[in-house]
Structure 1
Amino acid sequence: MSAAAFTVSASQFTGAKQRRALNARAVTASSSRRAVVAVAAGPKKIVIAGAPASGKGTQCELIVDKYGLEHISAGDLLRAAVAAGTDLGVRAKEFMDRGDLVPDEVVVGMVVEALDTDKAKSAGWLLDGYPRSASQADAITKEGIIPDSVILLDVPDDILVERVVGRRMDPETGKIYHLKFNPPPADVAARCTQRSDDTEEKAMNRLKVHHSNVEAVVGKYEGKINEIDGNRSKADVFADICGVIDEM
């Protein structure tokens, strides 16, 4: 795959750059939004947010390994429903294939059920990539799902598109690779697949949807936002995330 396949014109992301400028309000000298949240002793409740391919999945694995939180990915819940061919899965697939947000009524029940477990209640939880809109934030708040802290990963749009288009999954293990940054081993490459929504066109639509909703979500969790530069090594990003969690 050539580098040209990843090229995104500057005009397509002018609005995104303006939104990132808006994101810089209340910025500290380190160019990131940070909130030191006082949390009572007990299980931690964290949301990790960011555009598609911003690194949420990678960081969630590291967070879970270190802190033992129950990891709930709305995307995984939806993909499992699609794979199983459930009624909700069939409805969700229509939206996912276009890169649009799946309606709240399809997702909220899945998230609530996933968080209603002994482990989530005792060990704490990490809600991955959800909520993605103000209405979703309102819906889970009504169900008593209120995070202590929101970690927001910030990555430039052109990098995000490159990450998405080159992403591949091993269907046997579920492991995610990238044709450029983390190529699959030779004995695995032939069986790797590309998600139906991991095309440049759909990635750009997903980014458009993300940017149109992210500030509204941020507004719902004022005082709890920790914005972190996600365009660095996963170790550097994780170190900053640990700093946020350890300060809670």
Structure 2
Amino acid sequence: MISGPPAAGKGTQCEKIVKKFGLIHISAGDLLRAEVNAGTESGKLAAEYMNKGQLVPNQVVVDMVKHRLAQPDVQEQGWLLDGYPRSADQAAAILEEGIHPDVFLLIQVPDDSLIERVVGRRMDPQTGQIYHLTFKPPPRDTLDRLIQRSDDTEEKARARLEVHAGNVASVLDYYQDCLVEIDGSQDIKAVGSAIEDVLDTFQQSNSLEEFQHELAANTA
């Protein structure tokens, strides 16, 4: 499992993990939309709640996740569950179904750094390219047409960060045995290398206890 606040670079790291380790990337949000679009039984049930503006019950999403994790490609290659669970109820529900990660990666970045990343983002509406006024400056000839997403303001970004912090705090007790915190304030390559080191260590370990011992030794 992997979790991280908005603008922490989680999407980029998921791509790197999938490419390096061959895992199947599963996002609960993407899975929910796919089930609804495919018209499966779970998707139809979810759509009923969504059309009424209601939250989809935990058990419906849990059933979707459980079904996806049971598919042959996931059973063969392993899974990377992205941004789920987001509440203690969800964590308890999937644990009851026997779903527990080998490693829970938590990308940590100071809020002020995240705000700077978000507020400085700009998009070129002609190309879809994303720039950052400080970290990835756009070409001068595109400046006049760049736009800022409506939710890339400091006020909205802080609200999203507050929601994320609450979500993470509610689930961590379920994953203390496999939790690894990653310093996401480093550059992208350094974050990727740190994650690879953790997963390489796990693959080379003979047990969870040995993995935890090696991680403690490496971070001491």
Q: One fold, TM greater than 0.5?
A: yes
Identity of aligned residues (%): 53
Per-residue deviation, 1:218: 1.4
Q: Which runs of 5+ in 1 are unaligned?
A: 1-46, 96-100
Is structure 2 residue 73 aligned with structure 1 residue 119?
Answer: yes
Q: Compared with structure 1, are the counterparts of its residues 53 and 108 closer, same or farther at alpha carbon in structure 2 (3 Å cutoff)?
A: farther
Does 1 or 2 have the higher relative contact order (CA < 8 Å, sep 6+)? 1
Distance 1:91 1:119, change over 3 A: same
Select the residue among 177, 189, 201 that pairs with 2:130: 177
Q: Aligned in 2, Cα 1:93/1:164: closer, same or farther, shift over 3 Å?
A: farther
Paired with 2:73 and 2:126, the residues of 1 have a C-alpha distance of: 27
Task: Evaluate the alpha carbon distance shift between residue 191 and residue 160 of structure 1 in structure 2; reply closer, same or farther with a 3 A threshold.
Answer: closer
- How far did 1:226 drift? 0.5
- Name the residue aligned to 1:4: none
* Residues 1:225 and 1:141: Cα distance change in structure 2 (over 3 Å): same
1:179 counterpart letter in structure 2 = H
Secondary structure of the equivalent of 1:218? helix
- Distance in 2 between the 1:203 and 1:143 partners? 34
The Cα of 1:241 is off from its aligned counterpart by 0.7
Structure with larger Rg: 2
Match 2:176 to one of 212, 218, 222? 222
Structure 1 residues 211 and 176 mapped into 2: Cα distance closer, same or farther (>3 Å)? farther
Q: 1:142 aligns with which of 96, 102, 110?
A: 96
RMSD over aligned Cα atoms: 3.9
**Distance verdict in 2 for CA 1:144–1:168, change over 3 Å:** farther
Q: Which amino acid aligns with 1:51?
A: P
Distance 1:161 1:82 in 2: 33
**How far 1:235 sits from its partner (Å)?**
0.7
TM-score by length of 2: 0.70
Structure 2 residues without counterparts, runs of 5 or longer: 203-220
CA contact (8 A) 1:82 1:93 kept: no
